[in-house]
Structure 1
C-alpha cells in the first residue's frame, strides 16, 4: 500500500502552541496517534477564531470534518510544546482542506503533518452548503 504524502505550503499564516499533557500520551509514553488529532482539532478551533469565526458559525453556517490524512514523523512527549501551523487550500464549491504541520517548539523537530478535509454545513437544514466567500478571502483561498 502506498504511504500518504502530504505536501505543505512553504509557510503558514497561522500558528498556535499546544502543550502536550499526560492525557495525550499512550502506554509507550509518547503522543498517542488518535490524540494527535485532538491537538490538531484544538489548533483548528484557534485557526477559525483567528479569522473571527467558530466551527459552528462561519457566516451563519458550520463546518463538518469529511476526512483526515496524517503523516507521522517523530515521537512527541509529555510536556513538550507543539507548534501547529494551519492554513486552508484546495477549495471546492462546498469545502476545502485544512493543511497543517506540527513541530516541537524548542528543537524544531517535525512531529506530524496532515490535512483535514472540511465541508461547510448548514446544521439547521442538515445540508452541505457553499464555502462562504468571506472565509475563502480571509483564509487565503
Structure 2
C-alpha cells in the first residue's frame, strides 16, 4: 500500500503552540491518532482568529472540511508542548488547503504532519461559495 506523503510548503503563515492533554492519549499512553485531528481543529481555529474569522463566519461565508490526511512522525506524550506551524495554499476559486507541522517544543522532533482541505460554503443557500477576496488579501499580507 502506498504511503501518504504531505509536502509542507516552505512558507509559514502562522505559528503557535499547543499542549498534549490527558484526553489526547490512547491506551498506550501516547498521542492518539484521533486526537491529532482534534489538535488540528484547535490550531485551525487559532489561525482563523488571526483574521478575526471562524469556520462559521469566514468573511461572510462558512467553511467545511472536505478532506484530511495525517502522517505520524513520532510519538507525543502527556504534558508535551507542541510547536505548530500552519501554511495555507489557495487551490481553487472556492477553497484552500491548510498544512500543519507539529514538533516537540523541547526536542524539536517532528510529531505529525496534517493537511486539511477547506471549502467555502453558503449555509443559507446550502451550496459551495466563492473564496472571499478579503481572505486572499489578508493572507497575502501575512507573507
Scaled by the length of structure 2, the TM-score of the pair is: 0.94
Question: Matched residue of 1:9: which SS?
Answer: coil
Deviation at 1:13, TM superposition (A): 2.3
| Alignment-derived partner of residue 87 in structure 2 | 87
Answer yes or no: is the 8 Å Cα contact 1:86–1:100 preserved in 2. Answer: yes
Question: Paired residue for 2:18?
Answer: 18
1:63-89 deviation line (CA, Å, top 9, x unaligned): 000000111100000000111111210
C-alpha distance in 2 between matches for 1:114 and 1:136 = 22
CA distance in 1, matches of 2:28, 2:10: 33
CA shift, 1:55, in A, is: 1.2
Q: Secondary structure at the match of 2:31?
A: coil
Superposition TM-score, scaled by structure 1 size? 0.95
> Structure 1 residue 15: deviation in Å?
1.1
2:67 alignment partner, SS class? strand
Distance 1:43 1:22, change over 3 A: same
How far, CA to CA, are the matches of 2:40 and 2:97 in structure 1? Answer: 13
Q: How many residues align structurally?
A: 141
1:108 corresponding residue in structure 2: 108
Alignment RMSD, CA only? 1.3
Residue 90 of structure 1 deviates from its aligned partner by 4.1
Mapped to 1, the partners of 2:42 and 2:99 lie a distance apart of 14
Superposed counterparts of 1:22-101, under 5 Å: 22-101=22-101
Question: Structure 2 CA distance, aligned partners of 1:36 and 1:58?
Answer: 24
Q: Partner of 1:103: helix, strand, or coil? A: strand
Query: 1:139 aligns to what SS in structure 2?
Result: helix
CA contact (8 A) 2:62 2:122 kept: yes
Q: Provide the rounded CA distance (Å) in 1 between the counterparts of 2:46 and 2:38.
A: 13
C-alpha distance in structure 2 between counterparts of 1:106 and 1:137, whole Å = 35
